[in-house]
Structure 1
Amino acid sequence: MEASYLRGSFVTISFNHTIVAARDKQRSATFLTTLFGLPDPVPAGHFLSVTLANGVTLDYAQPPGDADIARQHYAFLVSEDDFDAIYGRIRAKGRDHWADPRQSRPGEFNTNDGGRGVYFLDPDGHYLEILTRPYGSGG
């Protein structure tokens, strides 16, 4: 391992975007923006892009034909107020949700690391998670 990595010079690297496969990119992108209270998705080439507060974008794309969509997990660090708002929308819409990724605690949220977290599915079966404290942050 290079000494520069050990000294922490890697902190200049940041995550910019990822592609989210969706059967209907408009439906899936709008699901996220509506639930999270974000600005509407915008076209970006053949993608539909959702920009998060830290500048990272989720670029929704429809695979060609009937190609399978591999389910992914996307976790979002949110404030306590945002958690209340998003969790309120999840419950108001009657969406299934769980305190854990194994779905063994339905209808609950967790209090890991002194914060709160919950898992739910988007229209294409991607696992979405909101949490108020990063894993391992204690509390």
Structure 2
Amino acid sequence: MTAHFNHTIIATRDPEGLASFYRDLLEAEEAPSWGVFQNLIIGNGVLLQFAAPPIDFPPQHYAYLLDDEHFDRALASIRASGREHWADHTRTRPGEINTEHGGRGVYLLDPSGHYLELITRPYL
């Protein structure tokens, strides 16, 4: 059997707040939460768990594949909120999106400082 991605823990000092941000941006489904985890489900049953770590944590990179209509809604929300975004991972093209890999993409920071990438076409 091929391995399938199942879940990840996204470190934050505000699990409920960050879960709310992702719920809105990714149009994620509610999932039962337990212990220190605030949980959401995205496509293919992937579980996103938000928790406060006991130590400082470095920013991580999370990329999400969206269909074109969802990308349009997410980009409109990002722009309406005044949140900084870039066309590139080096943040040299502010306020733009890219059209690489036959689709569209945008980079932004989530409220906990993690790097998010929203794309409409997979790289491979």
Identify the TM-score tier after normalising by the shorter chain.
over 0.9
TM-score (norm 1): 0.84
Comparing 29-38 with 12-21, which one deviates more in the overlay?
Answer: 29-38
Matched, 1:70 2:58: yes
Can you give the 5+ residue segments of structure 1 that lack an aligned partner in the other structure?
1-9
Alpha-carbon shift at residue 41 of structure 1 (Å)? 5.5
Amino acid at match of 1:113: H
Q: Please tell me whether the aligned partners of residues 106 and 119 of structure 2 are also in contact (alpha carbons under 8 angstroms).
A: yes
How is 1:16-55 mapped onto 2 (pairs within 5 angstroms)?
16-40=6-30, 42-55=32-45
User: Relative contact order, CA 8 A, sep 6+: which one is greater?
Assistant: 2
Q: Please tell me whether the aligned partners of residues 15 and 38 of structure 2 are also in contact (alpha carbons under 8 angstroms).
A: yes
Q: Please tell me whether the aligned partners of residues 96 and 106 of structure 1 are also in contact (alpha carbons under 8 angstroms).
A: yes
Q: Please tell me whether the aligned partners of residues 89 and 107 of structure 2 are also in contact (alpha carbons under 8 angstroms).
A: yes
TM-score (norm 2): 0.93
SS in 1 for 2:108: strand
1:52-81 superposed Cα distances (whole Å, 9 cap, x missing partner):
0211111111012xx212100000011001
Alpha-carbon separation, structure 2, partners of 1:104 and 1:42: 39
Alpha-carbon separation, structure 2, partners of 1:13 and 1:100: 30
Can you give the 5+ residue segments of structure 2 that lack an aligned partner in the other structure?
none
Amino acid at match of 1:57: L
- Alpha-carbon RMSD: 1.3
Q: Percent identity?
A: 50
How is 1:1-139 mapped onto 2 (pairs within 5 angstroms)?
12-40=2-30, 42-64=32-54, 67-136=55-124
Cα distance 1:42–1:34, how it changes in 2: closer, same or farther (>3 A)? farther
Alpha-carbon separation, structure 1, partners of 2:8 and 2:29: 18
**Number of matched residues?**
124
